A and B are shown apart, each in its own frame.
Chain A
Amino acid sequence: MKLKAAKKNQAVIPTASMADIAMLLIIFFLVTFQIEVDKSKVALPKTGIQVEIPKKSAYVSITEPGYIRVSSGEEISVQVPSADEVFSFASGLVARAPDKAFVLKADRNVPYRIVDEVIDALKRANVRNVFLLSDEEPRAAGG
């Protein structure tokens, strides 16, 4: 009787689905990818109320020493010398898009005087929608 030689099983890692998984991950990153227009480091205030900020909102950031930076939401922010510049910047944007949303990204330790000047400039420029960028405050259990 002729004995059949045992078949040798080769150890193979199945990689056929790797490209599919990679593509899914790419699609995820493409959908969630957002260019951070303002990279200034600020310690944001914490709030219990948190609403989603519309995409492509204009940014006005105030860092702790009081430096003000502005961005239309489509390009990287640039520093401006004073709040008066915020007025001319915001007026130009509002003239093109009256409902343009503005995000105020200010350090919680910055003197209110500077924030007041910026808010006043936005008011004078007829800006309606302003969002105060904040971190989420953990709520106490049970309310």
Chain B
Amino acid sequence: MKIKRETKVTDEIPTASMADVSFLLIVFFMITSTFAATRGLDFSLPEQEDNPPVVEKEESVLIEIQPGGQLLVDGTPMPLDGVLEYLRPKLERNPLKPVIIRPDPASEYGYMVDVFDELRLGAEKGVEVKNISIPTQREIQAFWF
């Protein structure tokens, strides 16, 4: 009788399906991940103080934002791109001159961001505004002179 030789089983990890599994995972991540906005404008809030420093009206520059987006800088209508040039001589005399942004409650949020961004961009144009303040309505009612 002829005895059949035992077939040799080789040790092997089956990797044939690895590419399929990997591609399924890739499809999952591609579908669930979103291109969310993760950048923005930093906006540090001051610490709450019981006795905040009083800024005299004459010492500061007041930028009022009206409902349509028009700007009144120290009471004078001004386009957004003229604000930095207006501030330049004042900041040369006093680099810490406070600039107060006061948006009208009925104005749109986007206009406030536009003004704030313009002032922050001033550093690149040689007009660095170091002291920007955006008081809230509660603070205006409590401390406004």
Contacts and interface: CB of A to CB of B under 8 A. Distances in A.
Interface of A: 15, 18-19, 22-23, 25-26, 29-30, 32-34, 36, 44-45, 47-53, 62, 103-104, 106-117, 119-120, 122-124, 126-137, 143
Contact of A19 (B22, B45, B110, B120): B22
Interface residues of B, number: 49
Contact of A47 (B41, B48, B138): B41
Nearest to B34: A36
B25 to A, nearest CB: 5
Q: Is the interface of A mostly helix, strand, loop or mixed?
A: mixed
B40 A129 contact: no
Contacts of B55: none
B109 A48 contact: no
Interface in B65-90: 65
A108 B110 contact: yes
A45 B110 contact: yes
Given A34-B33, A109-B110, A51 B47 contact: no
Nearest to A130: B43
A32 B38 CA distance: 12
Interface string B120-137: 110011000000001011
Nearest to B110: A108
Contacts of B109: 45, 62, 106-112, 114-115
A47 B32 CA distance: 28
A114 B109 CA distance: 9
A53 B39 contact: yes
Interface string B42-70: 11111110000000000000000100000
